[in-house]
Structure 1
Amino acid sequence: MGYPKKHRGRRKIGSKRRKMMRKRRKKQKIRKK
């Protein structure tokens, strides 16, 4: 997503996506409560 290093950017994006997914799941659980 606009990263100069494609190899490093790909790994960073994966980490960010996993963190976002975890945050979204936590938010959904709290919202469902």
Structure 2
Amino acid sequence: MPSLPASTLYLSLRVRLVHSNPSVAARIRCT
């Protein structure tokens, strides 16, 4: 696997979460 910065990895995980669960996405945006 390519070594990615922690921030990039977190962003990609968050994007995946947003696409799979809109309610969680709204909660993340609030924080």
**TM category, shorter:** 0.5 to 0.7
* Structure showing the higher helix proportion among its residues: 1
Aligned length: 19
Structure 1 residues not aligned, in runs of 5+: 1-13
Structure showing greater radius of gyration is 1
Return structure 1 stretches of 4+ with deviation > 4 angstroms. Answer: none
What is the Cα-based RMSD across aligned positions, in Å?
Answer: 1.6
Structure with more relative contact order (C-alpha pairs < 8 Å, separation 6 or more) = 1
Q: CA deviation at 1:17?
A: 0.2
TM-score normalised per structure 1: 0.50
Structure 2 residues not aligned, in runs of 5+: 23-31
